[in-house]
């Protein structure tokens, strides 16, 4: 079974703090994704990565950055957390190339910014 793990299930941070959300997958997948999920807005793509050290902006990248130094690990960084970044953050991975390979999601990190 594919396993995607996220470093924290719940996180509380203060406005202005730098926040790191870590995601690790164990299936040697090339592609990794970060989403946020908010009531009424569904899942929205923040950033994705097709390979190590590669990153692409998703639909809502403002206020976020990412890092992919190793194939299995994809980090989401909030440089200066703000209250409107309070959300559920979901990481996903899939094998590479075009096509129909399934995205596998982690359990999510619920972030509260005070």
Partner 1 sequence: LAKTTQPISMDSYEGQEVNITCSHNNIATNDYITWYQQFPSQGPRFIIQGYKTKVTNEVASLFIPADRKSSTLSLPRVSLSDTAVYYCLVVLYNQGGKLIFGQGTELSVKP
Listed in sequence order, the residues at least 6 apart from 13 whose beta carbon sits closer than 8 Å to its beta carbon are: 19, 78, 81, 111, 112, 113, 114
Q: How far is residue 6's CA from residue 92's CA, in Å, rounded to a whole number?
A: 10
Residue number with CB closer to partner 1 (17 or 37): 37
- Locate 51 and state its tokens: 């390979």
Q: How far is residue 37's CA from residue 30's CA, in Å, rounded to a whole number?
A: 23
Beta strand 87-94 pairing with 31-38:
antiparallel
1 binds partner 1 (CB under 8 A): no
Of 19, 29, 31, 76, which one interacts with partner 1 (CB under 8 A)? Answer: 31
Contact predicate 5/104, CB 8 Å = no
Of 7, 8, 86, 103, which one interacts with partner 1 (CB under 8 A)? Answer: 103
92 binds partner 1 (CB under 8 A): yes
105 binds partner 1 (CB under 8 A): yes
Binding residues among 51-80 for partner 1 as defined by CB under 8 A: none
101 binds partner 1 (CB under 8 A): yes
Residues that bind partner 1 (CB under 8 A): 4, 31, 35, 40, 42-45, 48, 50, 88, 90-92, 94, 97-108, 110
């Amino acid at each position: 079974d594919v396993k995607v793990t996220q470093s924290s299930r719940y996180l509380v941070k203060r406005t202005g703090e730098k926040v790191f959300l870590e995601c690790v997958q164990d299936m040697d997948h090339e592609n990794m994704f970060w989403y946020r999920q908010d009531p009424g807005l569904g899942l929205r793509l923040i950033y994705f990565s097709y390979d190590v050290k590669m990153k692409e902006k998703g639909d809502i990248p403002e206020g976020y950055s990412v890092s992919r130094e190793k194939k299995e690990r994809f980090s989401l960084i909030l440089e200066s957390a703000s209250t409107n970044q309070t959300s559920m953050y979901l990481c996903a991975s899939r094998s590479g190339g075009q096509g129909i390979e399934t995205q596998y999601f982690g359990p999510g990190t619920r972030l509260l910014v005070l």
